[in-house]
């Protein structure tokens, strides 16, 4: 699919106009992602119309409708949640404007509604987090009662990375009868959200929490503040696992406050511009492009921190 949506008048390097609707500015990951997209557009000579939806789907739908009215050559966006996109994507299709999904997926059975989807495998990220816990279960039993109680700070409710990281993590720990998720709540991928939810977890379960699985660095960093404010030592009294590997997270990992980080690469700009140009030129592109990622322990964080771009 996608071949019939290459109209829209673009294709060359010169004069290509792209509308991009960003989720918001909720995390360090997001800031790095927005910078990457803006820099890559400039480098590719693409005129980028960038809007920030402040984590609200209605704002994204409005922005996409505006881009359709403006007859941009291509629309790219990172959908804040997975569902509810069909009507606006159909409007773009009718206007012959190709849509490229980046970072987060939409939940639709009609894959003619977008040309391609560039982003991470979030289920795999959740699995890597769970695998580390399974492999380190001996030291993760910080309360020493033979059981590992995990509290989870979930990302934005309904967002692909929140749904998929939860799934991957659960898959990985499923066979371990000594590991249980005892509480799970959204912190909306923000530092403040992570701090507040962790405070409430500590208020109701103090002395019983072994591990925090924060679905991004920012919520994990917020949780560290709550743990320290409660007079506990992160990394010792409570183990902390996060996802992203932005600089602040990597620093906390190197300092031994976070125990393990699963990388999620935000530098999608160059690949996004490349895919956009190919789509506008009518070239075949894969329907799914998965970013390559790794994981970090404290020792590894120390050795790469100085060269970290974001």
Q: Which positions touch ligand GYE (CB under 6 A)?
A: 26-27, 29-30, 103-104, 161, 189, 216, 218, 243-244, 264
Smaller CB separation from ligand GYE, 118 or 280: 118
Shortest gap between Cβ of 279 and ligand GYE (angstroms)? 22
Report how far residue 104's alpha carbon sits from residue 85's, in angstroms, rounded to the nearest whole number. 12
Phi, then psi, of 260 in degrees rounded to 5: -160, 135
Shortest gap between Cβ of 28 and ligand GYE (angstroms)? 7
Report how far residue 310's alpha carbon sits from residue 307's, in angstroms, rounded to the nearest whole number. 9
Smaller CB separation from ligand GYE, 154 or 172: 154
| CB proximity list for 66: less than 8 A, separation 6 or greater | 19, 51
Smaller CB separation from ligand GYE, 8 or 220: 220
Q: How far apart are the first and last CA of the chain?
A: 35
Express the helix, strand and coil content of the chain in percent, nearest 5 each.
Answer: 45, 20, 35
Cα–Cα nearest to 101, from 82, 77, 136: 77
Smaller CB separation from ligand GYE, 23 or 97: 23
Smaller CB separation from ligand GYE, 129 or 151: 129
Shortest gap between Cβ of 195 and ligand GYE (angstroms)? 15
Report how far residue 98's alpha carbon sits from residue 275's, in angstroms, rounded to the nearest whole number. 11
Report how far residue 264's alpha carbon sits from residue 29's, in angstroms, rounded to the nearest whole number. 8
Report how far residue 62's alpha carbon sits from residue 200's, in angstroms, rounded to the nearest whole number. 35
Q: What Rg value do the Cα atoms of the chain yield, rounded?
A: 20
Shortest gap between Cβ of 21 and ligand GYE (angstroms)? 14
Smaller CB separation from ligand GYE, 31 or 208: 31
Shortest gap between Cβ of 167 and ligand GYE (angstroms)? 15
Smaller CB separation from ligand GYE, 151 or 261: 261
Shortest gap between Cβ of 252 and ligand GYE (angstroms)? 14
Report how far residue 133's alpha carbon sits from residue 156's, in angstroms, rounded to the nearest whole number. 23
Smaller CB separation from ligand GYE, 88 or 221: 221
Shortest gap between Cβ of 47 and ligand GYE (angstroms)? 25
DSSP sequence for 110-167: -GGG-SEEEE--HHHHHHHHHHHHHHTHHHH-TT-SS-EEEEEEE-STT-HHHHHHHH
Shortest gap between Cβ of 216 and ligand GYE (angstroms)? 3
């Amino acid at each position: 699919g996608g071949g019939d949506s290459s109209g829209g008048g673009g294709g060359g390097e010169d004069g290509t106009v792209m509308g991009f609707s960003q989720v918001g500015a909720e995390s360090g990951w997001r800031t790095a992602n927005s910078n990457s997209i803006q820099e890559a557009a400039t480098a590719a000579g693409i005129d980028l119309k960038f809007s920030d939806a402040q984590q609200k789907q209605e704002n994204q739908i409005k922005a996409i409708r505006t881009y359709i009215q403006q007859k941009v050559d291509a629309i790219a966006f990172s959908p804040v949640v997975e569902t509810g996109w069909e009507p606006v994507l159909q409007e773009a299709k009718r206007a012959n404007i190709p849509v490229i999904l980046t970072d987060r997926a939409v939940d639709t059975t009609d894959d003619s509604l977008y040309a391609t989807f560039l982003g991470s495998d979030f289920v795999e990220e959740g699995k890597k987090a769970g695998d580390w816990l399974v492999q380190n279960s001996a030291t993760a039993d910080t309360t020493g009662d033979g059981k590992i109680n995990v509290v989870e700070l979930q990302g934005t409710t309904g967002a692909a990375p929140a749904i998929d990281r939860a799934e991957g993590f659960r898959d990985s720990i499923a066979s371990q009868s000594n590991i249980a998720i005892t509480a799970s709540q959204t912190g909306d991928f923000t530092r403040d959200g992570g701090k507040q939810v962790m405070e409430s977890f500590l208020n109701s379960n103090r002395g019983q929490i072994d591990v925090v699985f924060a679905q991004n660095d920012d919520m994990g960093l917020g949780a560290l503040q709550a743990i320290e404010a409660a007079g506990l030592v992160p990394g010792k009294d409570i183990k902390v696992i996060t996802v992203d590997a932005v600089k602040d997270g990597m620093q906390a990992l190197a300092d031994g406050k976070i125990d393990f980080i699963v990388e999620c690469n935000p530098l999608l700009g160059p690949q996004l511009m490349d895919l956009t140009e190919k789509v506008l030129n009518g070239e075949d592109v894969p329907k799914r492009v998965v970013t390559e990622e790794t994981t970090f322990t404290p020792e590894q964080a120390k050795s790469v921190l100085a060269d970290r771009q974001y």
